[in-house]
């Protein structure tokens, strides 16, 4: 009998063989939704120069210290400065320089009066406000200090990261290579989706749901089709997949206790494999290990996860083990899904000592989150997965989950 492991123990063992993949350099717009491979430090101050945050006049605060609407300070305008230009003319006592938003603060000036607080005529301006030193001046380095860590490696690149890279003058950036994930379905009953459905056959759902999960995690699915429940066919397809150069190998089906569940045996002859029963439902059987690639003789064995065959089990096993593994290869540590506490609205009977991940729809009602079962919870009922936006976690030690119980829900989208 295979050992029974908690989800956490199984995950820890799985993650122990993964580490971040090597970086690649791309133009920054190709890095959207990818993961930074290297820390990005600022090699300059942002903004590079002190500049005005208002249209108005650059002044000496001392000149306007007593200015008011009743007794304005009258200053001589000695220049005009638009954004994008610099001036050598200093602001000296009794003078001001007309300045636009974004223009560098001219030498001497220590404050800006906004244009609404002034009236100008010819070369003179009357100032009605008494700005403190520094008023409407954005100092150099206010946003980012030269030498500081701006973007740590491991973060997902969003539009704001792109803006920061552009500001820092980075046209290219190092991101982590996308993991290549081989996906092999198994089963004599399983046929490709475009094939006609003969009696006794079902279509290959698993390879496609898994491939979509790989894509959403930032990986590249390598579709290997379907292996028949025969040792030669499985062996051949596994070797063919390895020959394509993959970072992770996934199979579905054939890891439970049926007579034709030979995936276990084949994996065991191709490498070092462990078979576990994981204390979760759905998704109890799991094979995990590393297989060698005899075709290319590659030095590094490829991690393999033999996922269960039922269409919901395979997705949940992916969620619990493969997604974290892909994140690990990407150097991301933020794989835990957001959770909310919710009131379970439907009873869940017949609880065994595994952790149940129950397909629910979470809604905010009457000031709390409520979790409604989306349908049958059998491991092959994909329609309740389709309707779900969350997985309610019913702990191992609960004998049943009554309606009204407070549960933690993983949010899937
Ligand atoms: P197995 O563990 O191979 O006995 O598979 C468990 C259940 O999942 C069986 O009912 C299979 O028909 C089904 N199944 C296996 N592979 C697939 C697949 N690729 N797509 C849809 N259902 C599958
Ligand atoms: Mg099978």
CATH code of 373's domain? 2.40.340.10
HSE-CB of 346 using CA atoms within 13 angstroms: 14
Indicate the pLDDT class of residue 295, thresholds 50, 70 and 90.
low
Q: Give 401's strand partners.
A: 348
Residues 91 and 146 in one domain: no
188 close to ligand 1 (CB < 6 Angstrom): no
Burial class (CB in 10 A: 0-12, 13-18, 19+), 351: middle
User: For residue 321, what are the contacts with CB-CB under 8 A and spacing of at least 6?
Assistant: 10, 11, 14, 286, 288, 305
**φ/ψ of residue 64, rounded to 5:** -115, 15
CATH code of 120's domain? 2.170.190.11
Any domain includes 334: no
190 close to ligand 1 (CB < 6 Angstrom): yes
**Residue 175, pLDDT above cutoff 90:** yes
Residues 261 and 315 in one domain: yes
185 close to ligand 1 (CB < 6 Angstrom): yes
311 close to ligand 1 (CB < 6 Angstrom): yes
**What distances in angstroms separate CA 381 from CA 26, 254, 377, 378, one per listed residue?**
42, 19, 6, 5
Burial class (CB in 10 A: 0-12, 13-18, 19+), 222: buried
Residues 39 and 134 in one domain: no
Any domain includes 265: yes
CATH code of 210's domain? 3.40.980.10
CA of 309 to the centre of ligand 2 (A): 6
CA of 384 to the centre of ligand 2 (A): 22
CATH code of 35's domain? 3.90.105.10
CA of 304 to the centre of ligand 2 (A): 17
377 close to ligand 1 (CB < 6 Angstrom): no
Any domain includes 1: no
CA of 171 to the centre of ligand 1 (A): 47
pLDDT of residue 142: 97
Distance CA 23, CA 154 (A): 11
Residues 195 and 324 in one domain: yes
Residues 285 and 196 in one domain: yes
SS3 assignment, position 46? strand
Domain boundary, last residue among 298, 329, 360: 329
pTM: 0.92
Find how far residue 256's CA is from the centre of its chain: 33
Burial class (CB in 10 A: 0-12, 13-18, 19+), 234: buried
| 202-211: b (≥16 Cβ within 10 Å) or e | eebbbbbbbb
Residues 196 and 298 in one domain: yes
Per cent of the chain over pLDDT 70 is 98
Any domain includes 359: yes
Domain boundary, last residue among 138, 167, 195: 138
> What range defines the domain where residue 357 resides?
339-411
Indicate the pLDDT class of residue 402, thresholds 50, 70 and 90.
very high
Q: What is the mean pLDDT of the chain?
A: 95
Helical H segments across 168-304, by residue range: 206-217, 231-243, 263-270
**Residue 244, pLDDT above cutoff 70:** yes
**Residue with CA nearest ligand 1 atom 5:** 309
Task: Report the pLDDT averaged over residues 290-311.
Answer: 85
258 close to ligand 1 (CB < 6 Angstrom): yes
Any domain includes 391: yes
Residues 60 and 120 in one domain: yes
Task: Report the pLDDT averaged over residues 283-303.
Answer: 83
pLDDT in tens, 264-278: 888 888 889 999 999
Residues 159 and 33 in one domain: yes
Residues 311 and 202 in one domain: yes
Indicate the pLDDT class of residue 173, thresholds 50, 70 and 90.
very high
Domain boundary, last residue among 108, 138, 168: 138
Residues 232 and 103 in one domain: no
Residues 308 and 372 in one domain: no
Terminal-residue alpha carbon distance, the chain? 37
Residues 256 and 366 in one domain: no
**Residue with CA nearest ligand 1 atom 17:** 309
Any domain includes 121: yes
CA of 341 to the centre of ligand 2 (A): 37
Per the CB < 8 A criterion, the answer to whether 396 and 278 are in contact is no
Q: Which ligand is nearest to the CA of 285?
A: 1
95 close to ligand 1 (CB < 6 Angstrom): no
Distance CA 225, CA 185 (A): 6
Indicate the pLDDT class of residue 297, thresholds 50, 70 and 90.
low
**Considering its fold, how many domains does the chain have in total?**
4
Any domain includes 243: yes
pLDDT in tens, 14-64: 999 999 999 999 999 999 999 999 999 999 999 999 999 999 999 999 999
pLDDT in tens, 180-191: 999 999 999 999
**Residue 259, pLDDT above cutoff 80:** no
Task: Please identify which residue in the block is written with the tokens 């930032």.
Answer: 218
252 close to ligand 1 (CB < 6 Angstrom): yes
189 close to ligand 1 (CB < 6 Angstrom): yes
CA of 271 to the centre of ligand 1 (A): 23
Any domain includes 383: yes
CA of 191 to the centre of ligand 2 (A): 12
282 close to ligand 1 (CB < 6 Angstrom): no
């Amino acid at each position: 009998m295979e050992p029974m492991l908690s989800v956490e123990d199984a995950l820890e063992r799985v993650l122990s063989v993964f580490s971040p993949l090597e970086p690649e350099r791309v133009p920054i717009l190709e890095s959207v939704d990818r993961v930074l491979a290297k820390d990005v430090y600022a090699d300059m101050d942002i903004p590079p120069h002190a500049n005005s945050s208002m249209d108005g006049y650059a002044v000496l605060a001392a000149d306007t210290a007593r200015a008011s609407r009743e007794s304005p300070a009258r200053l001589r305008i000695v220049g005009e400065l638009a954004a994008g230009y610099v001036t050598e003319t200093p602001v000296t006592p009794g003078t001001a320089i007309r300045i636009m938003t974004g223009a560098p603060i001219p030498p001497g000036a220590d404050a800006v009066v906004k244009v609404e607080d002034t009236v100008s005529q010819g070369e003179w301006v009357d100032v009605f406000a008494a700005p403190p030193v520094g008023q409407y001046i954005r100092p150099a380095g206010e946003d980012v200090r030269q030498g500081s860590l701006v973007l740590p490696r491991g973060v997902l690149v969003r539009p704001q990261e792109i803006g920061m890279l552009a500001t820092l003058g980075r046209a290219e950036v190092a991101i982590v290579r996308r993991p290549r994930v081989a996906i092999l379905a198994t089963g004599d009953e399983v046929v490709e989706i475009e094939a006609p459905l003969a009696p006794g056959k079902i279509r290959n759902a698993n390879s496609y749901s898994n491939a979509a999960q790989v894509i959403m995690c930032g990986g590249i699915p390598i579709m290997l089709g379907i292996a028949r429940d025969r040792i030669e066919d499985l062996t051949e397809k596994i070797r063919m997949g390895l020959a394509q150069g993959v970072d992770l190998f996934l199979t579905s089906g054939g890891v439970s206790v049926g007579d034709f569940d030979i995936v276990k045996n084949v994996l065991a002859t191709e490498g070092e494999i462990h078979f576990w029963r994981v204390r979760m439902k759905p998704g109890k059987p799991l094979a995990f290990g590393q297989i060698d690639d005899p075709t290319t003789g590659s030095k590094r064995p490829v991690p393999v996860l033999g996922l269960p065959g039922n269409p919901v089990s395979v997705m949940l096993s992916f969620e619990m083990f493969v997604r974290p593994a892909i994140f690990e290869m990407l150097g991301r540590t933020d794989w835990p899904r957001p959770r909310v506490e919710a009131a379970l609205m439907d009873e869940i009977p017949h609880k065994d000592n595994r952790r149940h991940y129950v397909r629910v729809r979470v809604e905010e009602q009457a000031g709390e989150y409520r979790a409604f079962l989306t349908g049958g919870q059998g491991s092959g009922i994909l329609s309740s997965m389709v309707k779900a936006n969350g997985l309610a976690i019913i702990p191992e030690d609960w004998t049943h989950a009554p309606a009204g119980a407070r549960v933690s829900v993983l949010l899937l989208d």
